[in-house]
Amino acid sequence: MLNYILLFAPQGSEGGSGMMSIVMIVALIAIFYFFMIRPQSKKQKEIRQFRDALQKGDKVITAGGIHGKIREINGTVIVLEVDNNVKITVDKAMVYPSASDAIETGGDIKNAN
């Protein structure tokens, strides 16, 4: 019976392992923030600034991959001219400055706002 008690008795080095676990969790959260969350929010901020600065005549690409030139901006709706006398109406949240931006953000409403 004494052997079992000594086997499960806390060792002197285990007292610091709880603190070490907390330090590792904090470090993991910091790494996750700086490599995942911060760059994504920075990219979304750049796209939001781009959308706010849109003007008539700018060339853009929609989330669906349609290239066009802006003819009208009415609040959150944009009229794009995709060919001679061919105009389409799209939501402002679905317009990107380049194809790589559309791919990186996934082109969906959740990431666009």
pLDDT band at 87 (very low <50, low <70, confident <90, very high): very high
- pTM for the complete prediction? 0.56
Q: Number of structural domains, the chain?
A: 1
Q: What is the CATH number of the domain that holds 42?
A: 2.30.30.140
For residue 4, being part of any structural domain is answered with no
pLDDT digits (tens, 9 = 90+) for 34-59: 898 999 899 889 888 888 888 898 88
For residue 65, being part of any structural domain is answered with yes
Q: Mean pLDDT over residues 80-102, rounded? A: 83
Range of the domain at 108: 18-112
pLDDT band at 112 (very low <50, low <70, confident <90, very high): very low
- Considering all CA atoms of the chain, what is the largest pairwise distance in Å, rounded to the nearest integer? 92
For residue 105, being part of any structural domain is answered with yes
For residue 22, being part of any structural domain is answered with yes
pLDDT score of 64 more than 70: yes
